[in-house]
Amino acid sequence: MDHPEMSAQQRLMIALERAAGAFARLDQALSMHPLRGAFLYRFRLDAVRRQAMVDGQLIEPWHLAALLEGVRLRMDPWLSLAERGDIFDAARHALSMHQWIVEPDFDQEGEIQVAMKAIERDVERASPLLGAAHAAHAWLAGGGRRAPLRGALIRFWQQSGLLHLPVPITGPQALAGDLPFDRESWIPLLLHALANEAAAAQDLLRDLDRAWQVARASIGKRRKNSRAAKAIDILAATPIISAKSLADRLGMNVANAHALLGELLEAGLVVELTHRSKRRLFGLSGMGRMRDYVAPPRRPQPGRGRGRPRIEREMPQPAPPAELPPAPSGGVLPRLAFDFSDLEEAMAAADAAIRETRISLDRIRQAGRPEADHQRLGVGETR
């Protein structure tokens, strides 16, 4: 939100007021809400997507949801090896970012603590929102990493009482590459980004609540001892659940839980997410997009033995027969008569020339034979 006619102080106050109001409305909406767990699950997926987009990674939230549940990703068969590698790199980046904001490891925890101390130093001289914004600018300007700052901001909102739940509001919109980063311009941008993210969180909570109410209303009239309504409540509060977990929550055996989920599946209120016969996971219809990103398990082909399948060599395809030109239309063509008289005369002349040549050669040979005999006889008499 840009007001060029206003002073820098006025723009800062407007942004601060807007962010404070958005945080207050969100915290009030989440207070004692029965879908808080489902909200945190879904909003964390969206938060990772927004943060990754600013970091240069395009991540599908439902890919991340599938990875968190330990199921195999669906891959399009026509993707190249490089494209598959890009998907796995993005998924690895998403898992790392999700770990930073949900359950950091030992090294990550140390970096978050350092960022928390930096925020607490600035907050002592200003209000929580304004102090956190100043600390975020100083942290990034000093070359600090984004991931520990995000984890520290999430904790600080809860520690300062702005939010009572660890909602991952970090304002990634303010980290776009084409925005100014000087202190006077960037801090209002960050506050507006925080306000926008808090408003998006409240919209998500409304959508989840609306889907829950629609599912409850779609059950219709049932027996007094029916547990369908309670199952809908559990599925709304727990985004992904197995039949065994649902059976434990409802106090019934697993077979009956499967039967109940089957009824809800037929009614279109519940979707099955994993394409599996074992460890089947279910969710309300709003989770249906996750099913599109989960690959079915690899099942052996019937009749095939153990080991890798044999590579069948492709036989060369025979060339298609040449197409003959179409026969001329009409009746049978008349037979042509050829005149061979000139050819016969030429062949007769050639035979005559050959015959005369042979006669001449015979005469020459016979004329030279007596002289040779006479010479042989003369030589013998001399001896």
Domain ranges of the chain: 8-210, 227-293
The string of pLDDT tens digits covering residues 126-176 is 889 999 999 999 999 999 999 999 999 999 999 999 999 999 999 999 998
Question: What's the pTM?
Answer: 0.70
Task: Give me the sheet containing 241-242, strands edge to edge.
Answer: 241-242, 281-284, 270-272
pLDDT at 3: 56
Tokens of residue 126, six digits:
């200003």
Residues 6 or more apart whose Cβ sits within 8 Å of residue 69: 240, 273, 274, 281
- Residue 241: strand pairing partners: 282
pLDDT at 86: 80
Q: What percent of the chain has pLDDT over 70?
A: 78
pLDDT at 382: 42
Question: The domain at 227-293 falls in which architecture?
Answer: Orthogonal Bundle (1.10)
Cα distance between the two ends of the chain? 143
pLDDT at 378: 54
Question: Which residues of the chain are modeled with pLDDT < 70?
Answer: 1-4, 62, 69-77, 275-279, 287-315, 319, 322, 324-340, 368-383
